[in-house]
């Protein structure tokens, strides 16, 4: 009963207290927004004493690499958080964390999202950190221009390349042999093969609206960069002759019903179609080898890998699909140690071996391309040394391709548009046109200058 006597006044006080807290919180969290000038202090001095770094990544098996580092570096301990994949929520979490000053020291960020994080003031320039600029030549050329935003180091270095997705063509060698077709070397031959394969009741490939970044890989091959920087402004170049060429080509395949448009990327239905032999090629990234291997077991020994078909016979161009960096985020108090770890993680042979074995990463470090595992013949692919093809592709990726700062939106527009085009509303060319204007709007909404 004594308790009851106290309940009411206490509760009243609580309510008043809550209201006060609520009000202060409301005004408090209204204040600070993102974008403290991260570039202001670019100097990068090592910290003294023991350092603990927070690191977010979604690479399977990353913990093993981190354990290795922690064992060798008692003074710089890394704590790993395994997160969902970037676009599955981690990027949004990272943005929120940056807003709230709760971001980790290091984070996994894909190439196409680097610009957007730099735009938010989320990245730390590590050009001045010990060893970083010297290490640049250890990475495949095109990845360097991604992390220095194409300025060759004049404009800072904003991340350490981790893995890449140079593209090539996986194809059912047995089916091609049976039909007496060579592996197509040009897109024209690819379309011809598509017609022959169709006569045999099969599809050359699937065309999915859920993989807009696959499509941008194709644009990349044709040097159809989607964004350019023009001084202080951005230029949207989604709709341009090179991208139109790609779009019109695939539109033709769609119109002629030579590609399966009802199969989405990474779907059980697609895997079934691979197993049954209904779909016979996949132009995909290096990491795709395990996707086929693990989901189309019944076709073991029947696949092979050839370079991406070319737009002009005799060319050697490849696109890139996916791949990540290890970025040092702007809130860190230990940029030097963070950069040191990021460099080690992505250049140390032992670390590279772990990430390749456990996480299936195709390394961005040149030395990584010589890993024993990447020199072996692969049983599933009829004992072909498939990674030689990807190593070549990696060297053939155009270095001038630039991602915009609002790729999430641009991908969304591409994806929505493609869904419409596949469903019969308009063409892929129209999609480029819409994506162009929608992307311009998107940039403006972020109050960025857009050059015409």
Partner 1 sequence: MSFLTRTEGAHAAAPGRRPAAGRLSVAAAVAFMTLAACYMLLPVYWLLVSATKSQSDLVSTPGLLPAEWHLGDNLTALFEQQDGVFGRWLLNSLLYAGVGAAIATFLAAAAGYALAKYTFTGREALFSVILGGVLVPATALALPLFLLFAEVDATNTFWSVFLPSVVSPFGVYLSRIFAAASVPDEVVEAARMDGAGELRIFCGIALRMMSPALVTVFLFQFVVIWNNFLLPLVMLQDDTLYPVTLGLFTWQSQTSRLPELQTLTIVGALVSVVPIVLTFLMLQRYWRAGLTAGAVKS
Partner 2 sequence: MTSTAAPPSTRRRRPRRALAPYAFLAPFLIPFVLFTLVPVGYAFWQSLHKTERVGGTFGSTRPVFAGFEQYADVVREPFFADSVIRVGLFALVQIPVMLLFALALALLLDSAVARLKRFFRLVYFVPYGIPGVVAALMWAFLYDPRLSPVVDLFRSAGVQVDLLGSDAILFSIGNVVTWTYTGYNMLILYAALQAVPSDIGEAARVDGAGNWTIALRIKLPLIRPALVLTGVFSIIGTFQLFTEPQVFRSISTSVTSTYTPNLAAYSLASGDNYSEAAALSVLLAAVTFLLSFAFLHFTSRRQG
Residues contributing to the site for partner 1 (CB under 8 A): 1, 3-4, 7, 25, 28-29, 56, 58, 60, 63, 81-85, 88-89, 92-93, 96-97, 99-102, 104, 265-266, 268, 271-272, 275, 287, 290-291, 294-298, 359-360
**With CB cut-offs between 5 and 8 Å by kind, which of partner 2, partner 1, none does residue 419 bind?**
partner 2
The bridge status of strand 324-328 relative to strand 106-110 is: antiparallel
Residue 8 sits in the site that holds partner 2 (CB under 8 A): yes
Under the binding rule (CB under 8 A), the answer on residue 378 touching partner 2 is no
Binding flag, residue 92, partner 2 (CB under 8 A): yes
Question: What DSSP string runs through 94-138?
Answer: HHHHHHTT---SEEEEEHHHHHHHHHTT-B---TTSTTHHHHGGG
Using DSSP, state whether 300 is helix, strand or coil.
Answer: coil
Q: Which two tokens stand for residue 213?
A: 């970044």
Are the C-beta atoms of 403 and 324 separated by less than 8 Å?
Answer: no
409 touching partner 2, by CB under 8 A:
yes
| Interaction between residue 199 and partner 2 (CB under 8 A) | no
Give CA 225 to chain center in angstroms.
16
Taking 3-state DSSP, the helix, strand and coil percentages for the chain, each rounded to the nearest 5, stand at: 50, 15, 35
Tokens 């003074």 belong to residue: 75
Give residue for tokens 């093809």.
389
**Binder among 80, 103, 120, 404 for partner 2 (CB under 8 A):** 120
Return the DSSP state at 106: E
By the rule CB under 8 A, 342 interacts with partner 2: no
Query: Applying CB under 8 A, which of residues 65, 103, 119, 140 lies at the interface with partner 2?
Result: 119
- Which one among 1, 7, 50, 201 touches partner 2, defined by CB under 8 A? 7
377 interacts with partner 2 by CB under 8 A: no
Give the separation between CA 37 and CA 21, rounded to whole angstroms: 30
Separation between Cα atoms, residue 365 and residue 137, nearest integer Å: 9
Tell which one of 121, 166, 323, 363 touches partner 2 (CB under 8 A).
Answer: 121
How many CA atoms lie less than 13 Å away from 14 in the CB half-sphere?
6
Give me the least distance between CB of 5 and partner 2, in Å please.
8
Q: Which is nearer to partner 1, 99 or 244 (CB)?
A: 99
Name the residue among 22, 29, 77 with its Cα closest to residue 49.
77
Which residues are near partner 2 by CB under 8 A?
7-9, 11-12, 14-15, 18-19, 21-22, 25-26, 29-30, 33-37, 39, 87, 91-92, 95, 116, 118-121, 209-210, 229, 232-234, 261-264, 267-269, 272-273, 406, 408-409, 412, 415-416, 419-420, 422-423, 442, 445-449
């Amino acid at each position: 009963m004594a308790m009851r006597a106290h309940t009411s006044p206490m509760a009243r006080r609580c309510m008043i207290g809550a209201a006060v807290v609520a009000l202060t919180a409301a005004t408090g969290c209204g204040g600070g927004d993102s974008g403290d000038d991260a570039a202001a202090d670019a100097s990068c001095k090592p910290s003294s004493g023991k350092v603990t770094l927070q690191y977010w990544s979604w690479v399977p098996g990353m913990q093993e690499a981190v354990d290795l580092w922690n064992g060798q570096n008692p003074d710089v301990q890394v704590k790993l958080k395994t997160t969902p994949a970037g676009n599955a929520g981690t990027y949004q979490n990272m943005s929120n964390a940056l807003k709230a000053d709760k971001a980790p020291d290091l984070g996994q960020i894909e190439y196409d999202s680097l610009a957007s994080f730099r735009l938010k003031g989320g990245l730390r320039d590590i050009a001045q950190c010990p060893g970083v600029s010297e290490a640049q030549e250890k990475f495949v050329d095109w990845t360097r221009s991604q992390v220095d935003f194409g300025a060759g180091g004049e404009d800072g270095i904003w991340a350490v390349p981790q893995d890449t997705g140079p593209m090539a063509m996986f194809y059912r060698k047995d089916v091609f042999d049976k039909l007496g077709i060579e592996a197509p070397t040009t897109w024209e031959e690819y379309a011809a093969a598509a017609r022959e394969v169709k006569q045999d009741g099969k599809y050359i490939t699937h065309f999915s609206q859920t993989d807009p970044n696959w499509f941008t890989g194709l644009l990349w091959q044709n040097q159809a960069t989607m964004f350019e920087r023009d001084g202080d402004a951005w230029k949207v170049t989604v709709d341009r002759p090179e991208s139109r060429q790609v779009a019109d080509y695939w539109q033709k395949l769609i119109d002629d019903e030579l590609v399966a448009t009802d199969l989405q990327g990474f779907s059980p239905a697609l895997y079934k179609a691979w197993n049954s032999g209904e779909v016979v090629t996949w132009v995909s990234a290096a990491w795709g080898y395990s996707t086929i291997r693990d989901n189309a077991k019944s076709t073991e020994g029947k696949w092979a890998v050839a370079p991406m078909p070319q737009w002009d016979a005799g060319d050697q161009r490849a696109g890139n699909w996916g791949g990540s960096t290890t970025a040092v985020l702007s809130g860190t108090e230990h940029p030097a140690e963070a950069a040191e770890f990021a460099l080690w993680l992505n250049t140390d042979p032992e670390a590279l071996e772990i990430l390749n074995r456990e996480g299936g990463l195709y390394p961005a470090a040149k030395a990584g391309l010589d890993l024993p595992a990447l020199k072996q013949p692969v049983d599933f692919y009829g004992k072909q040394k498939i990674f030689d093809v990807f190593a070549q592709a990696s060297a053939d990726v155009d270095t001038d391709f630039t991602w915009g700062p609002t790729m999430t939106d641009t991908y969304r527009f591409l994806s929505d548009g493609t869904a419409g085009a596949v469903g019969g509303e308009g063409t892929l060319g129209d999609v480029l046109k819409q994506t162009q204007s929608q992307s311009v709007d998107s940039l403006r909404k972020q109050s960025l200058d857009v050059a015409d």
